Chain A
Amino acid sequence: MPPKRKSDAVIKVEDVGMDVDAVVDSGSEDEARRRAKNRRARPQRKPKRVSDDEEDEEDEDEAPKRRGRKKRAKSRDSDEEDEEDNRSVKSKGSRASRRKAAKEESEDESEDERQKKKKKGGKPVSKQEKEEQNKERKGKTKGKEGKEKEKDKKKKSGKFSSSSSSDSDDPSLSEGEIEALKEQVEEKKKLIVTLRNKPWRMKKRLVTLKEAQEFVEKFEGALGKGKGRRLYAFKVMMTKKLIKFKRDFENFKTACIPWERKIKEVESHFGSSVASYFIFLRWMYGLNLVLFGLMFGLVVIPEILMGLPYGSIPRKTVPRAEQATAMDFSVLFDFEGYLKYSFLFYGFYNNERTIGVLQFRLPLSYLLVGVGIFGYSLMVVIRTMARNSNEGGDGAEEGEFTFSWKMFTSWDYLIGNPETADNKYASITTSFKESIVDEQENQKDENIHLRRFLRVLANFLILCSLGGSGYLIYFVVKRSQEFANMKSEDLSWFEKNEVEFVMSLLGLVCPPLFETIAELEDYHPRDALKWQLGRIFALFLGNLYTFLFALFDEVTAKLESEKAIKNATEWALKQYVANYSAHYNTTNVPPPNVHPADVIRGPCWETAVGIEFVKLIVSDMQVTYLTILIGDFVRALLVRYLNYCWCWDLEAGFPSYGEFDISGNVLGLIFNQGMIWMGAFYAPGLVGLNVLRLLSSMYYQCWAVMCCNVPHERVFKASRSNNFYMGLLLLVLFLSLLPVVYTIMTLSPSFDCGPFSGQEKMYDVVMETIEQDLPSFIGNIFTYATNPGLILPAVLLMVLAIYYLNAVSKGYQQANLDLKRKMQMARDEEKNRRNNKDSTNQVMKDLEDLLPDKSLIPPPVEEEQEEEAPPPEVVNKKGSRSPKVKPGAAGKGVKLQKDVSLAAPNPKAPVTRPPGPRRPPPGNARGPQPGSGRGRGRGGPPRE
């Protein structure tokens, strides 16, 4: 058996090889011929050379380079000595023949190269032909001498060089000869380089390599440039170094992406949908880092470093009344006390126009940063969306080879670590499951009317419940306004906290309700997630609305009380001045000497708003973390350990483990970011707090999801672009932009706190700067630019541009779609063509089968057929169908069945399920029966 198997293997290699590298067949012939020649020419040197070459091969592969090179050099020296000996001993004639042989070899070799380049196989070209071709080529390159002459000369030159190669360089060599030699040497070198790319067994490669190297060595010596090998080794080394450098650089780049490994791990177990949340979280973290940098770099740090220290002015001092409790934890926890009068909040900042030696314009910077945060966020969100949509795809695979690629290229052969391997197994399984879900969705045959009806019904139900909850919120808020006018003693606890109660109840009830209703719709889970996100988003808008409503109430109340206090202080100041000047009879009144803690001050509504936002963020964080801890971790613990002593299976039954709630988490993140955007203007410290929060929730949620959640029942592939999340984020950004811009533009800032105190409006800072610090023409430009006559056309222009770009992009989309369809059609057509050929061949086949029984023909004939078969295969490999793929053999193709039934009633197989009886069982295909040969379906007729 072993010898048989061996020959099989050889055949196999060649079979396989032929498809790729058309030369192999002829190459092997050449090989044999060459080997024979070699044996004739110099049998005595073979073993040594082989070992030498092995050395080389090893060197090329991975061995320590230096040692290899040294040895090689040494062996080369000894070779050269050998050569010399040979030369002196051997007769000139034998030498000449040897030369000739070498020449022919090289010619064959070059032919090989050319053939390979052309990718054109065919029967091995006869030697004569080859020589012809070779000559032609030579003629082309030289272009001046006749072919015959050239040939002769070359032969002669071979002799010459051999006779004269002992003295290193021979000036008598003509230019042309040297050229020819150089060319051959180059070809050999190329062979050496590409040798490893050939699908040959090592032995064959070694022999070829040896010959090529010998040739190169000799003739390079003759041409006086013996550096070829060293240069080659150097080149190889450099390429390796380059590859390694590139690889390291890639690794470095990957290592620089924060949490990449964590996310990959989550992805491998929970699928890309859960991972998409974490990727979104990471993106958000990056965005917030930039916002943090802006805020702290341009506002907070300058104020801390260059502004007045704590306790120097009233706004930076805790009032006397609060000082006793200012350091209590409960007070600090509500962001009162020292925290309220710290750099965290708006009120802390001074209204000095410039601070420090750098003349830093803090108020201006504060306003610009506050607006700039929005500008930057908008830009980044939109840019990311645009880039993502370039990447395209809503997650559905559009490639033609989804499953094949997953099957054959998903395992990374580099993996050598058991843990990584486990992750990889999990991720491959998950990705297969994702694709299977997609596929099942595609295959689902649906009753379209029922489905439509159900979807409309579901949307109706959800709209109803959304409307209901919206009305409920509106009602409750209105009632709470009424309650606010009543005395708080008259109200019960419930009435006081009605809004919060209703809001959290809605937040608790609605999402599961929506999810249940969404079952009706039976969308693909990816689309279902989008719908769910949109609906809960709408619900949460109510949340936002109530919050802002309450806030504006508070602000207006504060503004009124502030007005009163402002009047009172102004009155007091005036009185003080009057008293002072009356008493001392001077107009030069020093400011009243009051300790900053005792100064009467306004309520500073900006700080109040900031505190509201910070409190909201903190409480939100607590709620989220506690929910995870209790809802996931404790539940998982209970399920895991109570399961031993419980009456039903907890793990598979009711409580089970939690699933990761993608929609809830994503929306939480988005609304959190909205709060940050709104609050950042009033509480510069909020951005820093948020960075901490995102950082901690990254680790915490990664841990929680890995340790106490189970993957979704239907793991689905998330859309590659997070554009739906981004869209929601953009909407929230826009919504949160409105109130901030409104307050900046319309409300007047507090008179005694914050960077804008003393101004009528906050944006007056900009006007002031333009008027005072910039050259006057800029002010002029500004006035022109704000002229409505200019703004209106500009807006019109923009609208037109938007319209135009939109139309263009629509056009592109359409073109894209068309192209895709065309590609698909082309592919289908090709498939059909092949299949049709099959079916026509089927007819031929059937006809053939009707001929006298083929199986009676003795096997050798069949063998010959087999032998003849390969070349055409090679020829039309790229073209249409190769003959080895035989008929109809059980087409699973779409059209095939029809074709078969059209073409000829196949008596042997039922049309409904073509079983392909022609194919011998693959296991013993190459076994004892030679007739059935290589599973090509070319064997005898099917027996039934």
Chain B
Amino acid sequence: MDYTNDPDCKLPLALIVNMPELKENPFRNRIVESFSEDGMGNLSFNEFVDMFSVLSEMAPRELKAIYAFKIYDFNVDNYLCKEDLEKTLNKLTKEELTPEEVELVCEKTIEEADLDGDNKLSYADFENMITRAPDFLSTFHIRI
């Protein structure tokens, strides 16, 4: 990688995901993917900077909420539907919950946050929920 001669080069996902700040994060692939322009997780320098700028402490809540939504939206359809939630939950708990429990949790989550009754969370729902979360700001940031 010769950055000086070829500033347009991109880092592959596998490389970025292994940096110590992301290594332990269960959503590391999603984080990198949602910041990459090609959606495959290859980051140019700008995107990389963008990523850590959003995840920095200085970034405001609204911005973080947008990217959090993108991160948790596994199947990139602009909605958090049940399968997104299931994936999130399984990543969070290392699949230690029984399928029934997962089902219950996902149902409850949608029931709580879904304001428009379409059985999935749109960004408006998500934002409404996340702006009231007490520790969203303190947990959704990375220091480098």
Contacts and interface: CB of A to CB of B under 8 A. Distances in A.
Given A16-B70, A196-B58, A889-B119, A403 B124 contact: no
A130 interface: no
A916 interface: yes
Nearest to A914: B119
A435 B101 CA distance: 10
Contacts of B70: 12, 16
B50 A202 contact: yes
Given A414-B139, A831-B117, A834-B116, A436 B110 contact: no
Contacts of A830: 115
B18 to A, nearest CB: 12
A783 interface: no
Contacts of A17: 66
B124 A19 contact: yes
Given A400-B112, A922-B77, A16 B39 contact: no
Contacts of A935: 77-79
A323 to B, nearest CB: 65
B15 interface: no
Interface string B123-144: 1101101101111101111111
A19 B129 contact: no
A834 B115 CA distance: 7
Given A243-B57, A428-B93, A439-B104, A891 B47 contact: no
Given A61-B49, A197-B62, A407-B109, A892 B117 contact: yes
Contacts of A20: 62-63, 65-66, 127
Given A8-B39, A9-B37, A62-B144, A408 B133 contact: yes
Residue of B24, B62, B132 with most partner-chain A CB within 10 A: B24
B12 interface: no
B13 interface: no
A831 B104 CA distance: 21
Measured as residues with beta carbon below 8 angstroms from the partner, the interface class of chain A is 35 or more
A418 B24 contact: yes
A890 interface: yes
Nearest to A200: B50
Interface in B74-118: 75-79, 81, 83, 85, 88-89, 92-94, 96-97, 101, 104-105, 107-118
Interface string A874-910: 0001000110111011111100100000000000000
Nearest to B93: A429
B78 A429 contact: no
A421 interface: yes
B90 to A, nearest CB: 11
Contact of B117 (A9, A199, A409, A838): A838
A229 interface: no
A16 B92 contact: no
Interface in A380-430: 400-405, 407-418, 420-421, 425, 428-429
Given A197-B60, A439-B108, A6 B118 contact: no
A201 interface: yes
Contact of A432 (B24, B60, B105, B142): B105
Contacts of A416: 20-21, 23-24
B133 A407 contact: no
Contacts of B119: 889-892, 916
B20 A411 contact: no
B115 to A, nearest CB: 6
A427 to B, nearest CB: 10
Contacts of A888: 117
A196 B60 CA distance: 9
B116 A838 contact: yes
A408 B130 contact: yes
A934 interface: yes
B122 interface: yes
Given A401-B133, A890-B119, A891-B118, A407 B55 contact: no
A57 interface: yes
Contacts of B39: 5-6, 8-9
A925 interface: yes
B14 to A, nearest CB: 18
B77 A58 contact: no
Nearest to A399: B132
A405 B79 CA distance: 17
For A412, A421, A890, A937, the residue with the greatest tally of chain B CB atoms inside 10 Å of its CB is: A412
A15 to B, nearest CB: 6
B141 A414 contact: yes
Contacts of A886: 118
A25 interface: no
A863 B27 CA distance: 34
B133 A409 contact: yes
Contacts of B94: 425, 429
A206 interface: yes
A289 to B, nearest CB: 31
Contact of B123 (A19, A433, A436): A19
A922 B75 contact: yes
Contact of A408 (B50, B68, B116): B68
Given A429-B96, A885-B118, A935-B77, A6 B37 contact: yes
Nearest to A11: B78
Contacts of A877: 124
Interface string A165-196: 00000000000000000000000000000001
Given A16-B66, A892-B111, 5 more contacts: A12-B70, A16-B123, A411-B139, A414-B142, A440-B104
Q: Across chains A and B, which 7 residue pairs bring their CB atoms closest together, nearest first? A: A202-B46, A885-B116, A421-B24, A922-B77, A891-B117, A893-B117, A429-B93
25 contacts: A2-B38, A5-B39, A6-B37, A16-B69, A17-B66, A199-B67, A202-B47, A404-B109, A405-B136, A407-B85, A407-B89, A408-B68, A410-B139, A413-B139, A414-B142, A416-B20, A417-B24, A421-B24, A425-B94, A432-B97, A889-B117, A892-B119, A893-B117, A916-B119, A919-B118
Interface of A: 2, 5-6, 8-9, 12, 15-17, 19-21, 57-58, 61-62, 196-199, 201-203, 206, 239-240, 243, 400-405, 407-418, 420-421, 425, 428-429, 432-433, 435-436, 439-440, 830-831, 834-835, 838, 877, 881-882, 884-886, 888-893, 896, 916, 919, 922-923, 925-926, 934-935, 937
